[in-house]
Chains A and B, each alone.
Chain A
Amino acid sequence: MSKSLPTEFVDLEPFIDWSLESERERNAKRYASEMIEIRRFHDAMVARAEAAIVYLDRTGKGLENLDDADRTLLNMLLSLAEVAPSVTFYNSAQVAGGVDPKRVVPD
């Protein structure tokens, strides 16, 4: 089943590939992306982040009971958190001079 966004956020459709369930998947996509793609996603998402937060909170479903489209949007917000260091800190997909992220293992 292909992913879809809430109708209010269809403008973010071109970036729907960033909707990924786990931190490992989001981190892997960041590391596999060119900085220009990361910046495009970051800028589009930053512009809509506050609206997305307000929208998802307004449903009142809580974090656990979001429907599929809402969850797709939330995971895109979490990808924004993932790529933020690339844009704010490093101007690079990678942590500058950093260790291979596969060695930093989440429990």
Chain B
Amino acid sequence: MAIEIESTESAAIFTPNRFLNRYAEQLGTGPVPIEPFISADYFERERQTIFKHCWLNIGRVEQIPRPGDFFTKELAVCDANVLVLRGRDGQLRAFHNVCQHRGNRLIWERSGNCRSRVSCRYHGWTYDTTGALVQATDVKNFWNLQPEAHHLAPIAIDTWKGFIFINLEPAPAEPLRKYLGEIADQLDDYPFEQLTTCFSYSVRERANWKIAATSQEEGYHVPYIHHQSHGRAIYSDARGNYRSLDIELFGRHHRILTAPNLNFQPSEVEKIAGSHMPGFVDSFAENGSAAKAEGQPSIPGYYSIFPNFHFLALPGNYLSYNFWPLSVNETLWEIRAYYPEPKTIGERFAVEYGRCAARDIVSEDIPLHEAIQSSLRAGAISHFTFHDEETCCRHTMKLVDDYVSGCA
């Protein structure tokens, strides 16, 4: 990534509307109506046109490394309960988690290992790890039962850099790699596979999923709501205004590159943690961490994979967000912090600090999302007026609207 930190101070960063000048034709420049955040009809159309149509990240390969390993996931927004299973042959497969006899849920656990067979607890129908029906109990008492007609209902599955994606379309319009497009090229060298220690949190927010998601895809808010936390490590100009290094749209997806605060003053704990491993807050600042992550990008990048998967790729660790709509007014926000497996006590300490800091920073955002949703429902604001640094929010809203109105 050939971006000079020094260019932070260059004139380009102070050009007004530098991103919207680039993207105005594609995104428009006007106010954005709030109906998409509060309309039940609009939400229903999102379910049908986006969540039952797009590739969705639902996990990572490290969750199910061995044959027979599985996890299940309730995706209310897609009306689906998904079973992701690593077969005896090592192959990853996804199915509707539904017995093909009478439609009972097949596996009730969230994760585990099924060895080589899965049996339904209702009437004992049993499937192998390829989803084939291998035993229907008391089979002779069925009228000409054809086992091959009772294979578990498959769901399209693919992986990219260890991230597992599924697609509820019986025949997805395009393969995952093509769906991701150029944004995937930007991350070819990012060592996701080395960052396997994961701390995860989830929170049920009383807010539309796009309130939660768009609130994360802009840095304009950082010097305000986050001024005490990671805002300390992120660049603002002499007037205190946040300035991205760059914003780039890649088809349906986009990336924000964050500029470091060159005058960042790490705290005592940040100094200790940062001497063992690049941490969370200090990763934003060029001078933040004494421990350098070899061969990793030094510029923090915030990546949004449409529709609901974001991650913040930092030097040495990353944070991922999945925003799962539960209803028009409610979202399950999943937050995961990934680090290298700590080998020393110092690294264990650094990872714990990063995890606690990330958790607390996210905790700053949640009450705002809920207040906003409540304001929108009250009819107290009719439009959002997006700043140039909020160009990615505008992009997301445009994409959603294109899908919902059939123009995507």
Contact = CB atoms under 8 A, between A and B. Distances in A.
Given A98-B364, A107-B202, A84 B228 contact: no
Contact of A98 (B202, B272, B344, B366): B366
Given A57-B344, A57-B346, A81-B349, A87 B267 contact: yes
B11 to A, nearest CB: 33
Contacts of B356: 23, 27, 81-82, 84-85
Contacts of A57: 344-346
Interface in A20-57: 23, 27, 42, 46, 49-50, 52-53, 56-57
B199 interface: yes
A49 to B, nearest CB: 5
B272 A107 contact: no
Interface residues of B, number: 36
A98 B363 contact: yes
A53 B345 contact: yes
A6 to B, nearest CB: 13
Given A49-B272, A107-B200, A88 B267 contact: yes
Interface in B195-232: 199-204, 225, 228-229
A80 B203 CA distance: 24
**Majority secondary structure, A binding face:** helix
A77 B349 contact: yes
Contacts of B272: 46, 49-50, 53
Contacts of A87: 267, 269
9 interchain residue pairs of minimum CB distance: A81-B352, A98-B363, A84-B269, A88-B267, A99-B366, A81-B353, A56-B345, A107-B200, A89-B228
Interface of B: 199-204, 225, 228-229, 267-270, 272-273, 276, 335, 342-346, 348-349, 352-353, 355-357, 359-360, 362-364, 366-367
